[in-house]
Amino acid sequence: MLAFGFLTVFWGNFGQSFFISWYGASIQEQLNLSATAYGSAYSIATFISGLCIMAFGGAIDVIKLKYFVMIASVGLFIAALSMWQISSVLSLVVSLFLLRFFGQGLLPHASSIAMARYFSINRGKALSIASNGVPVGEIILPLLVVLLISLYGWQFSWLLIALSVPLLFLPSALWLLSQSKEPETQAFTKNITANNEHSTRRTLLGDSRFWLAIPLVLMGPFVITGIFIHQGFITEQKEWSLTFFALTFIIYGLVHWLASIIAGAMVDRFTARKLFSFTGIPFGLALLLSCYFEGGWVAIMLMAFLGVGIGITSPIVSALWAEVYGTKSLGSIRSLVTSMVIISTSISPILLGFFIDHQVSGNQILFALACYAIVATVLSLFTYQKNE
């Protein structure tokens, strides 16, 4: 089951921003698009994907896991085939939507729900192991992309990615599911302090603690997407070379992986409730360091702290919903949160781009993001720490 969770997240990387971004320049050149036009197409596709995940993510509560994964896999296969045949802006938006919806959205969603339901005593560790499909992808896939593009061209590489879904991923995922044993019992679980199996999406929306927690839940993906999409502007402002900054992604990926593993074990020991507020601290440190100091070491510290932040956020936040609201309607609850996260990542590039176009400096943008991280962290102190 752990291997299933990891593979499902790993194949979902084909819909993640860090992977698609490697094709941005080629797509703009072939379709003769400006950076603004390409960014707008990307944001529109991501926004629609977020809305669709809100509508359809809850289906995992009523559909068997293997069928849900089969549907998501077929969708990712069609998405990659669509990228292979891009010829217009409309086809680009449709292709990006399919990639974001099935790749970034439904596959990781299926993995997270499966880990949270299957594991109870070791839920945190299971979620962290499965979520490691992202940092492993961040380390491996860029090199694979460069190789495939150099050998076959950018569009043909998407045909190879498409074929990997029915030939490699889906048979492996279904076999691993068939080999999984009985779920862990919750008989001696100490982690779940408020396991309300009758909670629904309405329960979540009516809980004031959720609205105090959501700024911190959205903050990490919002910040990272904005910085990565506008890395050219940030590096120019900070006088970091793009080559040097590209190397810091290796640090980011390794730290992301290590932090995720440690956080998973800590969730099982201390509960996600007690750890939730700590997820904002690495982001605040990263952004404050970056806006007040200069030099190459700042880029390294920025990426290291961002890696820590996003690494601990995934297992802690994923376990949080199961601890507080139970697992019966977890698919519906998590899909709502996931859609909010995805929508926030569609807004981030546009909002930061607006500031950049209006001559706001890189340090001012980083300071504003740091303030957001601090405020979100403070608000989270009044959420789920105490049992109710």
Domains and CATH numbers, the chain: 2-380 (1.20.1250.20)
- Between 211 and 388, the more confident residue is 211
* Spatial distance between the Cα atoms of 4 and 7, rounded to a whole number of angstroms: 5
pLDDT at residue 188 is higher than 80: no
Q: How confident is the model at residue 380 (pLDDT cuts 50, 70, 90)?
A: very high
DSSP 19-66: HHGGGHHHHHHHHT--HHHHHHHHHHHHHHHHHHHHHHGGGGGTS-HH
Q: Give pLDDT, residue 7.
A: 96
For residues 84-99, average pLDDT? 93
Closest to 111 in 3D by CA, of 181, 184, 177, 19: 177
For residues 314-341, average pLDDT? 88
Q: How confident is the model at residue 187 (pLDDT cuts 50, 70, 90)?
A: very low
For residues 186-203, average pLDDT? 57
Tell me if the pTM is above 0.75: yes
Q: Give pLDDT, residue 140.
A: 85
Task: Kindly give, in sequence order, each residue whose CB lies less than 8 Å from that of residue 360, ignoring residues fewer than 6 positions away.
Answer: none
319 close to 123: Cβ distance less than 8 angstroms: yes
Mean pLDDT over each residue of the chain, to the nearest integer:
88
Task: Kindly give, in sequence order, each residue whose CB lies less than 8 Å from that of residue 292, ignoring residues fewer than 6 positions away.
Answer: 363
212-237 residue pLDDT tens: 999 999 999 999 988 887 887 888 89
Q: How confident is the model at residue 191 (pLDDT cuts 50, 70, 90)?
A: very low
pLDDT-wise least confident of 19-28, 60-69, 369-378: 19-28
Other CB atoms within a 10 A radius of the CB of residue 358 amount to: 7
For residues 18-39, average pLDDT? 82
Q: Give pLDDT, residue 357.
A: 81
- Between 199 and 154, the more confident residue is 154
pLDDT at residue 192 is higher than 60: no
Q: How confident is the model at residue 387 (pLDDT cuts 50, 70, 90)?
A: low
Q: Give pLDDT, residue 103.
A: 93
- Between 46 and 228, the more confident residue is 46
Q: Give pLDDT, residue 93.
A: 94
Q: Give the whole-number percent of the chain exceeding pLDDT 70.
A: 95
For residues 52-62, average pLDDT? 89
258-304 residue pLDDT tens: 999 999 899 988 999 999 999 999 999 999 999 999 999 999 999 99
Q: Give pLDDT, residue 203.
A: 83
Q: Give pLDDT, residue 26.
A: 85
Long-range contacts of 186-192 (CB under 8 A, 24+ apart): 186/120, 186/121, 188/121, 189/120, 189/121, 191/120, 191/121, 191/123, 191/124, 191/267, 191/268, 191/271, 191/272, 191/319, 191/323, 192/120, 192/322, 192/323
For residues 20-33, average pLDDT? 84
pLDDT at residue 358 is higher than 90: no
pLDDT at residue 5 is higher than 60: yes
pLDDT at residue 54 is higher than 90: no
Q: Give pLDDT, residue 17.
A: 81
